[in-house]
Amino acid sequence: MASKNITKELICKESLKIIKEDGLSKLSMRNLATRLGIKAPSLYVHIKNKADLIIMLQAYAFNANHLMGTLNPDDNSWQEYILHIMTNMRQFFLNNHYLYELFASYESNSDESRETFEKYLLKMQAYGFSLKDSAYIGRIMRMFILGHVEFEYRSTQNNREHPVLPQNINPKFKNIKNFFDEYEGYDHDESFIFGAKLIINGCEQLLK
């Protein structure tokens, strides 16, 4: 395959195939170049480094799966808004578990993810939350969703190791800290909704 035929879309598609078939650890510039049928140095004409590739893949996943709209729902209350975001993110990772590690292992630094987060911050501030609290809630939601998806996946592999949430969590969200130890054996849909409600309760405490 000639270098002139290499496009960013093709790079993304082949990269995601590697992740889906062999895992994120096997995604390297050398392996990707081999998959594309070019020499590794030629790949750097299109990508600066692996970090640049990860950002490009996150952006591609955002656009290909229409996450911008999914993560910016139009709801009447902030409680519905948070539940909607959490439910959509969980479903996305359950449907595309091979992308889980791509977002769990790296901060989302693409323009698309930053724009989505900025819209989230503006909407949360419109609901009465401070900028600082809005950002913290976003991090808590992300940690819980990724943890729950991993929790669900491990249960299908008969792996009883539990995800661990940070122990220095804001006291207003203390009920979520040991969630995965306390709710083992529950129906996954029920436990997720219960966890989301615990986060919403913590948010209510922030507003007081």
Rounded to 5°, the CA angle 80-87-74 comes to 40
89 has a pLDDT exceeding 70: yes
At residue 1, the pLDDT reads 44
Residue 152 and residue 184 in one domain: yes
**CATH number of residue 142's parent domain:** 1.10.357.10
Residue 11 in tokens: 């790079």
**At residue 183, does pLDDT exceed 90?**
no
What average pLDDT is seen over the chain?
84
Model confidence at 78, pLDDT cuts 50, 70, 90, reads: very high
Same domain for 28 and 97: no
CATH number of the domain at 17, please: 1.10.10.60
What element of type H or E holds 189?
A: helix 188-207
106 vs 174, higher pLDDT: 174
Q: What end-to-end distance do the CA atoms of the chain give, in Å?
A: 61
Q: Can you read off the two tokens belonging to residue 68? A: 């911008």
Residues 72 and 110 in one domain: yes
Both 29 and 81 in one domain: the answer is no
Question: Looking at the structure, do residues 20 and 102 belong to the same domain, yes or no?
Answer: no
Lowest mean pLDDT of 19-33, 172-186, 194-208, name the range.
172-186
Q: Residue 64: pLDDT band by 50, 70, 90 thresholds?
A: confident
> Average of pLDDT values for 165-174?
79
pLDDT value, residue 2:
44
- Based on the structure, what is the number of domains in the chain? 2
Quote the pLDDT of residue 16. 93
Print the domain residue range for 36.
Answer: 3-47
**How far is it between the farthest Cα atoms of the chain?**
62
The reply to whether 145 falls in a domain is: yes
CA angle 207, 117, 133 (to 5 degrees): 20
Whether pLDDT at 65 is above 50: yes
Helical spans, DSSP H, in 37-161: 40-43, 50-64, 67-70, 78-95, 100-104, 111-126, 131-156
Is 173 in the same domain as 77? Answer: yes
Instruction: Give the Å distances, CA to CA, from 13 to 19, 22, 43, 68, 153.
Output: 10, 14, 14, 20, 24
**Model confidence over 107-140: pLDDT tens digits?**
777 777 788 888 889 999 999 999 999 999 998 9
Q: How confident is the model at residue 174 (pLDDT cuts 50, 70, 90)?
A: confident
Looking at residue 71, what is its pLDDT? Answer: 67
For residue 180, the model assigns a pLDDT of 73
Residue 154 pLDDT? 80
Q: According to the model, what pLDDT value does residue 197 have?
A: 92
Query: Does residue 71 sit in the same domain as residue 145?
Result: yes
Residue 3 has pLDDT above 50, yes or no: no
Q: Is 20 a member of any domain?
A: yes
Angstrom CA distances, 31 to 10, 15, 19, 54, 106, stand at 14, 9, 11, 15, 20
